[in-house]
């Protein structure tokens, strides 16, 4: 649906829709810069040109505020157009040697209120399994992960990459020179590794559940 849009392009499109719905007319380029914290007006012009090329909007070059939203999203209402909503990338997989937020790793974007988001480099993962149920993280929940927080502090719930291959969500502890990845479910045993076997990819800062 929005697979051909970057996160920033999607944010601009959402803000255009919100502003038109709220004010009855499109925002100026400078208003887009101010509300979305974009430093350069040329960046916004470039984004608007790409949105027009991909048939999300139509511009009238003879007028400064003439932007029409087109129906390329098939009437979808999956995204909240409130400017306080931040679209976090939903990452499908984590692997060694590949940046977490590389475009090929992103499956979708999920809009959440900015008040729920702690950190600047956050992404989301969908939980598979019940190993963390005793701290309220259930199967099929979405977790918010701060990719900038890789300090591996004791007691933190982290996303850890094991031997450069598989990623897991566990509570981290450092004991006797080892890294313990501890499930929060009494049915499972802790996993114990050498420090060079584990790479912390981020710290879990929140949980989001769809009923």
Active site residues: 131, 170
What Cα–Cα distance (Å) separates residue 78 from each residue in 45, 75, 202? 25, 9, 27
What Cα–Cα distance (Å) separates residue 160 from each residue in 91, 117, 193? 14, 20, 11
Record the tokens describing residue 88, joined without a space: 């976090």
Cα dihedral across residues 150, 130, 136, 211: positive or negative: positive
Contacts of 108 (CB under 8 A, 6+ apart): 89, 90
Give me the half-sphere count of Cα atoms (radius 13 Å) on the Cβ side of residue 21: 11
For residues 122 and 147, the answer to whether their CB atoms sit within 8 Å is yes
């Amino acid at each position: 649906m929005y697979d051909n849009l970057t996160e920033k392009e999607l944010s601009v499109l959402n803000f255009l829709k919100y502003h038109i719905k709220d004010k009855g007319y499109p925002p100026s380029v400078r208003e887009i810069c101010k509300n979305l914290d974009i430093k350069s007006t040329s960046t916004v012009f470039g984004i608007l040109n790409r949105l027009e090329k991909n048939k999300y909007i139509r511009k009238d070059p003879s007028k400064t505020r003439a932007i029409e939203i087109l129906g390329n999203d098939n009437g979808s209402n999956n995204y909240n157009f409130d400017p306080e909503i931040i679209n976090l990338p939903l990452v499908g997989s984590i692997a060694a040697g590949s940046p977490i937020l590389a475009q090929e790793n992103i499956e979708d974007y999920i809009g959440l209120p900015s008040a729920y988001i702690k950190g600047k480099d956050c992404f989301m993962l969908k939980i598979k399994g019940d190993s963390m149920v005793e701290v309220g993280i259930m199967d099929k929940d979405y977790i918010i992960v701060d990719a900038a927080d890789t300090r591996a502090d004791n007691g933190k719930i982290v996303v850890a990459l094991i031997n450069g291959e598989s990623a897991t969500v566990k509570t981290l502890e450092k004991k006797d020179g080892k890294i313990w990845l501890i499930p929060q479910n009494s049915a499972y045993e802790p996993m114990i590794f050498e420090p060079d076997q584990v790479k912390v990819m981020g710290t879990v800062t929140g949980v989001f559940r769809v009923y």
